[in-house]
């Protein structure tokens, strides 16, 4: 693996895609609906096209897993790409959105970068070498108790049909924490855990491109990742929990009665 070239390519793609998002957020150009609540904007498509072109120029044999296009390639070297996380926010010109790109080799995510172009914040994680925000090392919070914690969550796109499945757990955490937030961009939620802005996060039904880059960032910042049962989180898991590690077991205890969330 040519890690320096991979890293430079990842950063190049994040920068270029971020410029596309920053200059087009005011356009409100929705091009498709994957469901009633899942949108695709023209900026999603422009960003993805730029990212794919840049990666394949440098690594034509690598595989790609992207949100808006079919998977391509069969290489053990794979890029996992979300060209615009927070599309609903973006479509309404609400500037909480980002670009998320991860590099995976032989099933292990080694590098992950997430760029919020509206705050000029670049989160980056490299397996075994730590996590940074704009080049400065970041660590998860030291909050020791769930009672004193600020948490974040998100709701899947099927929430209109299954809101009664999702709200009880949300209610439990509202009661047991200092506060709850819901921003609508999973990759940024996870990065905010990594840098200590949140103490914990959970969400059901994330796709690999929603979390691949953020997973390595959280882990390299000292955080803990699991599914609702406490097993180590994988890209395929539908239940996702992230925390500073200190409150993780308390979060899982709250989740015990809700083990079916997201699995139906």
List the CATH number of the domain containing 168.
3.40.190.80
DSSP assignment letter at 233: P
| Domain-located, residue 187 | yes
**Residues 38, 118 within the same domain:** yes
* Calpha distance 100→87 (Å, rounded): 12
**Residues 14, 122 within the same domain:** yes
CATH code (residue 116): 3.30.540.10
* Calpha distance 156→151 (Å, rounded): 17
**Residues 47, 21 within the same domain:** yes
Number of Cβ within a 10 Å radius of residue 191: 32
Beta-carbon contacts of residue 43 (< 8 Å; ≥ 6 apart) = 20, 21, 24, 25, 27, 29, 84, 90
**Residues 236, 181 within the same domain:** yes
| Domain-located, residue 151 | yes
**Residues 190, 164 within the same domain:** yes
Domain boundary among 83, 118, 137: 137
46 Cα distance to chain centroid: 20
* Calpha distance 51→45 (Å, rounded): 10
Question: According to the model, what pLDDT value does residue 194 have?
Answer: 98
Q: For residue 252, which of 234, 264, 239 has the smallest C-alpha distance?
A: 239
| Domain-located, residue 24 | yes
Domain assignment of residue 183, given as a range: 146-258
Domain boundary among 85, 102, 137: 137
| Domain-located, residue 129 | yes
**Residues 131, 8 within the same domain:** yes
Kindly give the confidence (pLDDT) of every residue in the chain, 264 residues in length, as a single tens digit, with 9 standing for 90 and above. 688 899 999 999 999 999 999 999 887 666 544 544 445 678 888 999 999 999 999 999 999 999 777 788 889 999 999 999 999 999 899 999 999 999 999 999 999 999 999 999 999 999 999 999 999 999 999 999 999 999 999 988 776 777 888 899 999 999 999 999 999 999 999 999 999 999 999 999 999 999 999 999 999 999 999 999 999 999 999 999 999 999 999 999 999 999 888 877
| Inter-residue long-range contacts of 22-28, CB under 8 Å, 24+ positions, other chains counted | 22/117, 22/118, 25/90, 25/93, 25/95, 25/97, 25/118, 26/93, 28/91, 28/92, 28/93
Sheet strands side by side (includes 150-153): 179-181, 150-153, 200-204, 239-243, 224-226
Which helix (H) or strand (E) segment holds residue 165: the answer is helix 159-176
* Calpha distance 125→166 (Å, rounded): 31
Domain boundary among 108, 137, 166: 137
Which helix (H) or strand (E) segment holds residue 159: the answer is helix 159-176
**Contact present, 164 and 222 (Cβ < 8 Å):** no
| Domain-located, residue 264 | no
| Domain-located, residue 38 | yes
**Residues 8, 111 within the same domain:** yes
**Contact present, 80 and 123 (Cβ < 8 Å):** no
* Structural domains in the chain (count): 2
């Amino acid at each position: 693996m040519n890690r320096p070239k991979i890293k430079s390519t990842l950063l190049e793609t994040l920068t270029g895609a971020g410029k596309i998002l920053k200059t087009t957020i005011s356009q409100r150009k929705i091009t498709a609906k994957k469901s009633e609540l899942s949108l695709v904007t023209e900026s999603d498509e422009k960003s993805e096209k730029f990212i794919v072109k840049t990666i394949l120029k440098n690594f034509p044999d690598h595989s790609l897993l992207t949100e808006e296009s079919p998977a391509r390639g069969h290489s053990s070297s794979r890029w996992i790409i979300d060209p615009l996380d927070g599309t609903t926010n973006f479509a309404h010109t609400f500037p909480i959105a980002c670009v998320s790109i991860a590099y995976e080799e032989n099933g292990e995510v080694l590098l992950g970068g997430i760029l919020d172009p509206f705050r000029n914040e670049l989160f980056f994680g490299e397996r075994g070498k730590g996590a940074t925000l704009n080049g400065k090392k970041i660590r998860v919070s030291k909050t020791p108790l769930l009672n004193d914690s600020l948490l974040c969550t998100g709701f899947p796109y099927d929430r209109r049909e299954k809101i009664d499945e999702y709200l009880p757990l949300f209610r439990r955490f509202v009661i047991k924490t200092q506060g709850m937030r819901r921003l609508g961009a999973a990759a940024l939620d996870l990065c905010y855990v990594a840098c200590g802005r949140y103490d914990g996060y959970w969400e059901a039904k994330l796709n690999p491109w929603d979390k691949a880059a953020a997973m390595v960032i959280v882990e390299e910042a000292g955080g803990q990742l699991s599914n609702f049962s406490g097993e180590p989180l994988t890209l395929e898991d539908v239940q996702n929990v992230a925390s500073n590690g200190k409150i993780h077991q308390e979060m899982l205890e709250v989740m015990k009665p809700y083990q079916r969330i997201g699995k139906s």
